[in-house]
Amino acid sequence: MAADFRRDPARAGLVWDVLRGVVSARISETGRPALDITDVGGGTGVLAVQFAALGHNVTVVDASPDALAAAQRRAAEADAHLATVQGDAGSLDSVVGAAAADLVICHNVLEYVDSPEDAMAAIARVLRPAATVSVLGANAVAAVLHRALAGRFAEARLLLAGGGTTPRRFTLPGLVGLIEGAGLRPGHAHGLRIFTGLVPGALLDGDAGTAEALRALEEAAAATPPLRDIAAQLHVLGHR
């Protein structure tokens, strides 16, 4: 029996809900109950194993052998089959093949690659017609805001000027531009952790009701500009 993910916060999260919707629509379009999913930079396979446990053909591509080994252990615990390949986003098409995926997951990867443009181009070549890439990236606007609120004004100004970005950070127009530059059509966009980094932790300590109210607020604001645009992370879909 596959592991029960009902108590896994990732499964209940906005990204999981969006991706489940993408997968369901793709199954309806293709008539194939098992999709081919590639998680590039998937690390220990948190999302990948959840999809594998649902019966999809999932491949995790990551540069770290240790992370891939951890992903396999996670898959074994879930009684799910997972393929793992050592590689990186920039050469993804040579690793998994052209037009090989119904869905590519690219989360927290573009911050670290040598060239986000080359990585997105390689991802685009991996996508089948009408397939989707899920892009999650750190938000430059949020980084400036959080540093200013912490009194780190010089750092905030440096980030605002585009400097000191290690890892790299993005604006929503920047991520959309990368998707369009790879010949893909941008789709649904939302923000993650809009308020969480701004609310004092003391307000949430030991108060399940307050924490749930914050979660509901985050969900309600996730796709609402300009609140979406100051989220800690930005999630954008791109379609072939």
pTM: 0.91
**Is the sign of the CA dihedral 173, 40, 110, 144 positive or negative?**
positive
DSSP letter (8 states) at residue 206: T
pLDDT tens for the chain, residues 1 to 240: 333 333 334 334 889 999 999 999 999 999 999 999 999 999 999 999 999 999 999 999 999 999 999 999 999 999 999 999 999 999 999 999 999 999 999 999 999 999 999 999 999 999 999 999 999 999 999 999 999 999 999 999 988 887 656 789 999 999 999 999 999 999 999 999 999 888 887 787 777 888 889 989 999 999 999 999 999 999 999 999
Does the domain spanning 9-137+170-193+232-239 belong to CATH 3.40.50.150?
A: yes
CA distance 1 to 78: 8
Q: H helices within 33-186, ranges in order?
A: 46-53, 65-77, 92-96, 116-126, 140-149, 153-160, 172-181
Domain positions in the chain are 9-137+170-193+232-239
C-alpha atoms less than 13 angstroms from C-alpha of 71 in its C-beta half-sphere: 31
**Is the sign of the CA dihedral 73, 74, 79, 81 positive or negative?**
negative
Q: Which residue has the tokens 């098992």?
A: 34
CA distance 95 to 88: 8
Nearest to 239 by CA among 135, 139, 138: 135
